[in-house]
Amino acid sequence: MNFRAALVQMRSGRDMARNLADAAAMIREAKAGGAAYVQTPEVTNIFEPDKERLKAIAKAEADDETVRSFSELAKELGLWLHAGSFALRADATRLANRSLLFAPDGRVAARYDKIHLFDIDLPSGESHRESATYAPGAEAVSISLPIAILGLTICYDIRFPPLFNALAKAGAGVITVPSAFTVPTGEAHWHVLLRARAIETGSFVLAAAQGGVHDSGRATFGHSLAVNPWGEIIAEGLTEPQVIYADIDPAQSAQARARVPALVHVRNFDLKPASFMVS
């Protein structure tokens, strides 16, 4: 069945209560705009670069106020509410970067912990070490909903095509990529990576993003994006917090895969290293 998706572009900060209020207002706006599925970005509940402060204030899923509020909001509004990710306590030393998909009755229908962690030193001097804060996930997640089969990923996962191929082979026709991309990598790679994953898998790709300069001083790229299975951008945000809409026809995924059946043409192969000596 066709449905309207809404991507909530945010500029989360260090105040969880403010982030929740901002998210709730835009989620309500999305519902009023006809959305049946609403996605928020990565680290919706808190954007906190200070690792020690983040570890000190993060709570377990059962104790997190934003989790409870999203559950209540999904039930009140009667929609599929996808918290792109929350920073939640996983154990005594590390957190989970976790997507939660809330059903229209408020229950958690699916959980996904980010598998690929962003550890990088950028030429600008900016450095990120997600593995110092978060424990990596170990399981890919897809879920069959009345509106579509969704595959769940988060941000840096976009650079790992085997994950997307596995989700598509499991039947996902809509793959989600809630994100908080840096500006340098966003300018260079955001659009091409999302379009490539859509083309390779014949899937819709829906990516709500963080955007702008946050209260910590760090900047994210924004440009929340919806891409159809042929690789065409069908909706795009800019940098400011906003809601963007995309009307999704899940049948287009099957049509794209029939036109280019690459998923069924995958072959196993051996790699034979070769050497050549110049005398």
Q: Which residues are catalytic?
A: 42, 114, 155
> What are the φ and ψ backbone dihedral angles of 100, each rounded to 5 degrees?
-130, 125
Q: In angstroms, rounded to a whole number, what is the distance separating the alpha carbons of residues 66 and 86?
A: 8
